[in-house]
Structure 1
Amino acid sequence: MTGKEKVKLILPKVKPRDLIKDDKWIFFPGDIVQVIGGETGYIGKQAKVLDVVRKLNSVTLENVKLATKHVRPNPIMPYGGKITKPMPIHFSNIKLVDPTVGKITDAKLKKEINQTTRRAEIFRILKESGTKLPVPIDDGPVDKYESSTLDTPKEAVLERTWTPSIFQIPFPARFMNQMERLRRMNSGRGEF
């Protein structure tokens, strides 16, 4: 291979009918799993699930299937560089590790109504020991956010810049004038 050729990462395309349904998906970030298939260098290794890639029916594991990526200059890395990051592993190549026994096991999702809160709770029942493993609550992208130098300082966020008053219009005057113009233009049509 010459230096001018580009290597393109080809990800498997999963058709919508082949995606695992929500009521069958048992892997979540924070779970400990064991690699049971795929590349031979990783078989038998236990790792923590970092992220779930549902579009590919895959998960990324901590310190498993690491790849070196070249990064262009950006605010975090002004000169660019190389980073190592975990690549996705297909869900069929991993199994959950039962935390009580320490062995690999299958799991089944179960939904029950909590008698005290009267809300539906989803958990996984592990076949090896029969224990209940809770499904972690997804807080969204907030917990995955990494702070950078371009973020607004906390002091500026907490600074009070506007005080509500009954005598002030909550919208800027330009906006209210534009809304009044639109109301007058559309008043003859019976709209707005």
Structure 2
Amino acid sequence: MNRKFHIKKGDLVYVNAGVDKGKQGKVLEMFPEQERAIVEGINMVSKHTKPNAKNPQGGIIKKEAPIHISNLNVVDPSTNKPTRVGRKLNDKGKLVRYAKKSGEILK
């Protein structure tokens, strides 16, 4: 299954639903099969860990949990506000993503 999503790894996104509504963060990882993404500092959960080589003390660590991509919007680079994403052909004939609010092409 090779679906295209409105967000990609590295995008700055706005959370529009859930506990972290209104926050922004960078997409660290995508899970296309589950339609979820891990966003920096968003949807933090406490994970209990046993002592290991990386964490010899063990204990409770905070880490990001995946969030569904329907709850995320790409942040428009020019206005710094959330926007919907469209696709259009650029002058070289390549399909590119653009911000619907400003028309600016997203990297």
Q: For the superposition of Structure 1 and Structure 2, which TM-score range results when normalised by the shorter chain?
A: 0.7 to 0.9
Matching residue's letter, 2:82 = I
Bigger Rg, structure 1 or 2: 1
Task: Give the drift of 1:29.
Answer: 2.0
Q: What is the TM-score with the length of structure 1 in the denominator?
A: 0.49
The aligned residue for residue 8 of structure 2 is: 28
Task: Tell me whether 1:126 sits opposite 2:99 in the alignment.
Answer: yes
The aligned residue for residue 80 of structure 2 is: 102
Task: Give the drift of 1:87.
Answer: 0.9
CA distance in structure 2 between the aligned counterparts of 1:57 and 1:110, rounded to whole angstroms:
23
The aligned residue for residue 69 of structure 2 is: 91
Which of 46, 53, 73 in structure 1 is aligned with 2:51? 73
Preserved CA contact (<8 Å) 1:26 1:109? no
CA distance in structure 2 between the aligned counterparts of 1:122 and 1:79, rounded to whole angstroms:
50
Give a deviation string over 1:74-95, Cα, whole Å, max 9, x none.
Answer: 2212332221101111111111
Q: Matched residue of 2:28: which SS?
A: strand
- Name structure 1 gaps, 5 residues minimum: 1-15, 115-119, 135-192
Task: Give the drift of 1:122.
Answer: 4.6
CA distance in structure 1 between the aligned counterparts of 2:87 and 2:66, rounded to whole angstroms:
23
Task: Give the drift of 1:73.
Answer: 2.5
Equivalenced residue count is: 107
CA distance in structure 1 between the aligned counterparts of 2:51 and 2:89, rounded to whole angstroms:
47
CA distance in structure 2 between the aligned counterparts of 1:88 and 1:64, rounded to whole angstroms:
9
Structure richer in helix, relative to its length: 1
Percent identity of paired positions between Structure 1 and Structure 2: 35
- Name structure 2 gaps, 5 residues minimum: none
Structure richer in strand, relative to its length: 2
Task: Tell me whether 1:58 sits opposite 2:36 in the alignment.
Answer: yes
Matching residue's letter, 1:74 = N
Matching residue's letter, 2:14 = Q
The aligned residue for residue 38 of structure 1 is: 18
Q: What is the TM-score with the length of structure 2 in the denominator?
A: 0.83
